[in-house]
Structure 1
């Protein structure tokens, strides 16, 4: 029975990367602001990470509420510019993974500064990946603007969700921590 549960769990874990589907549809994503705006809502990884970061910052870094939104917008924008210039072209995926690992460590040790730095790094490298993909598009600025606005809105929704969980759900803080660990693992997958 134990082996059957292990096989089922392994099968489920193997399907997680296909569920993320973060980057299909980029061939049509070159059309403008709305395509960029819709993109974060169609990729499970974008949606989960932005919501999760909002929830995390509602718990671990109270001073990062609105300041975090501004920092993420700046990091994502900076990443887009770097990516469009081809900077980090060979390493942005490694930067994303490294940021996720540091983020997981920061969560484990509850280090707020490291959490903020790794989240900003993750956001910047993610922006670089999209900037690189969109570099030769004539509408890259519009697509990037749409993505930035959508990610900020999703992050704000995560902040709100985090506050609701912390205030009104029994053991909400523990649930947020467990969800954060799950998101970090999913991101690494």
Structure 2
């Protein structure tokens, strides 16, 4: 038991070291703008940054642990937080602290993935999703009609979240030692938040 725990600690440290040594992969804000406008700009943007992908997939994996009503409520809350943050971000509100909010959201999400009963942390993770929306609003304000950009962004993030839900269900139902896999996901999320 002790040998296995030591191996897991070393594996988690190795993953964290590798990810911390490649912060450029996070492609965090700004710098991955697109030559497109409107719906396409909003839809493509979440797929171009590892921070967006990790947040949405990990939230899905987290909410796969909860009852069905939590999964739906999680999706709706996630979308509303993104929209609200986007609108304020377009106005330049929270533009200076959006990056810190993104790091905080990933760190809280990592802790929530590791916790056995993480419902409070799950709600905090969704609330902090607001900062992802704010960063999108700052970056994509110039990309055309705001309603189309928001619609594209929310649709893309919802698809990524749904993928995370599916992945979480597969882990929960069919993968032996699924808790350890979720813990490894948490280590990856934490390392990316530090990057």
Shift in Å, 1:55: 0.8
CA–CA distance in structure 2, aligned partners of residues 143 and 185 of structure 1: 30
- Are residue 161 (structure 1) and residue 167 (structure 2) matched? yes
CA RMSD of aligned residues (A): 2.4
| Structure 1 match to 2:6 | none
TM-score w.r.t. structure 1 length? 0.82
| Structure 2 match to 1:26 | 33
CA–CA distance in structure 2, aligned partners of residues 20 and 167 of structure 1: 30
Which structure shows the higher helix fraction?
1
Gap regions ≥5 residues in structure 1: 1-7
Secondary structure of the equivalent of 2:44?
helix
- The answer to which of 47-56 and 20-29 deviates more is 20-29
Aligned to 1:115, which of 102, 115, 121?
Answer: 121
For residues 115-134 of structure 1, the aligned pairs below 5 Å read 115-134=121-140
Aligned length: 180
Distance 1:186 1:145, change over 3 A: same
Distance 1:106 1:26, change over 3 A: same
Superimposed CA distance per residue, residues 116-159 of structure 1 (whole angstroms, 9 cap, x where no aligned partner): 23211331101011112233443333222111101001101110
TM-score w.r.t. structure 2 length? 0.80
Aligned to 2:191, which of 172, 182, 185?
Answer: 185
Gap regions ≥5 residues in structure 2: 1-13
